[in-house]
Copies of this chain bind each other. A is one copy, B any other.
Amino acid sequence: MGTVGKALDLLDLFTRQRAQVGLSEMARLSGLNKATCHRLLTEMESRGLVEQVGAAREYRLGPAVLRLAALRETAVPTRDAAMPVLQTLARATGETAHLSLREGDKLVTLAFAYAPTHATKVMMEDADILPWHATSSGQAVLAFLPEAEQVALLSHPLRRLTDVTETDPARLRARLDDVRAKGCAETAGTFESDAQSVAVPLFLHGEAAVGALGVAVPVSRMTPERQTLIRRHLALAATEIIDLWGGHVPPAVTALWQRLT
């Protein structure tokens, strides 16, 4: 791995729960020695990508990421463009709607919207990484990727997150055939035991999925009628978002989604 990759991997150590990381912890988490960590962080700090704060001089993400994100949104309106559709989807289904994007070998939550309807709802974390095998979003994307990529993304050991998480790659890949035939993925209790979810893939210019749009429902509230309603609204919302992104839905998927609506 190159120096730049090593430096950028340090940025992934920041999470919502761990917004600040000290140098020693950075070294421990990354497996790099402290001197290397310090050198990489200092270079990133000089460009505003990280900054040091507080008496302990811990590191956190710096202001440059905001400027870069603003530029990216100007060039490719993604989050800003999808946000109103996501809010409409949450209102229409009465449930939590969320959008995730693929970044290399990760699937990352980009945005979500809650419905005002119910006191109980599935809570999402901004910028969380979704496990490919255990989420409907992950399966929706996987099903619409070339086989070689499916295999690669499922080649890491798959964690059993609940009693019903499928961790066998072969059985998972068989399930993906199903998802591909339906144009949407559904999971129940495989990521968190009390949540059920439905997701459809999102596309940009090609046949390969670039992300997913999902709706998550507390298990206690899911009914066949609600599931049908959610599938229909997901197909409509996904079409709208892809259109706002200036992309297009592959014709085969359009045909599948017409059956859902």
Q: Chain A: residues with CB nearer than 8 A to chain B?
A: 2-5, 7-9, 11, 14-16, 19-20, 39-40, 43-44, 46-49, 53, 60-76, 78-79, 101, 103-104, 106, 108, 110-111, 126-127, 205
Contact = CB atoms under 8 A, between A and B. Distances in A.
A46 to B, nearest CB: 6
Contacts of A106: 48
Given A60-B76, A63-B78, A65-B65, A70 B126 contact: yes
A211 to B, nearest CB: 8
A50 to B, nearest CB: 10
A110 to B, nearest CB: 6
Given A3-B3, A61-B68, A110-B70, A75 B44 contact: no
Contacts of A127: 67, 70-71, 74
Given A39-B2, A47-B104, A103-B48, A63 B70 contact: no
Nearest to A2: B43
A8 B44 CA distance: 8
B5 A68 contact: no
B79 A66 contact: yes
B43 A66 contact: no
A103 B65 contact: no
A20 B11 CA distance: 24
Contact of A69 (B3, B66, B108): B66
Contacts of A69: 65-66, 68-70
A227 to B, nearest CB: 29
11 contacts: A8-B47, A20-B75, A48-B106, A60-B75, A60-B76, A66-B72, A66-B101, A67-B103, A68-B68, A70-B127, A74-B127
